Amino acid sequence: MNTAYLSTAYFAPVSYYAALLVYDTVVIEQWCNYTKQTYRNRCHIAGANGLLPLSVPVIKPDTLKCPTRDIRISDHGEWRHLHWNAIASAYGSSPFFEYYQDDIRPFFEKRYEFLFDFNEEIRHKMCELLEIKPHIVYSTQYAAPLSGETDLRETIHPKKKTAETVPAIRLKPYYQVFADKYGFLPDLSIIDLLMNMGPESILILKDS
């Protein structure tokens, strides 16, 4: 059996869900020190003006180092309203927005205290919509993977190209609403794949 380690992620990118299919077991890291500017609290979607990053504000911990598991979500700036409006605006004309909107909107109506719990609720729902059942375990402490295991905790990252950093995953292009203006934008949030490809999303993931 092959095992990979992943960080938690907010509406994770397509490569993240491809990894959930590629590996027999996925260990989701809880105890790494939280770092900014990662997919832990952000995602990328494609809007009418191109690539659009969405970030969940978090409460600054009292100490310099804080386990990701203990990071709390901030209510600053009405971000839930802004994120949902951005998603609705970006994908309102996509083929499957009406099909999935009632599954996704509730995440912007309910208040979650911890980022990790919020992300996991999202992952559960996305896996349900994709009809995939990955074998997930949670880390009990921060540790290096064993020999033969794959560490993707900092590899699937907004500032890195997955095609170069994760050889096991080769993302397959698919239809995107604004591709005629910006070309294909790779490795966006799983929202982008679902809204554009619907039930065929699983085929894209398998081919990746």
81 vs 178: CA distance, rounded Å: 23
What spatial distance separates the first Cα and last Cα of the chain, rounded to whole Å? 19
Give tens-digit pLDDT for 145-179: 999 999 999 999 998 877 666 766 788 999 999 99
In sign, the C-alpha dihedral spanning 96, 10, 17, 157 is positive
Give tens-digit pLDDT for 101-129: 999 999 999 999 999 999 999 999 999 99
Residue 141: enclosing H or E segment and its boundaries? none
How many domains does the chain fold into?
A: 1
- Residue-level length of the chain: 208
- Strand pairing category for 50-55 and 42-47: antiparallel
Domain boundaries, position 193: 3-207
Please say whether the beta carbons of 114 and 61 come within 8 A. no
The model carries a pTM of 0.94
Residue 195: enclosing H or E segment and its boundaries? helix 190-197
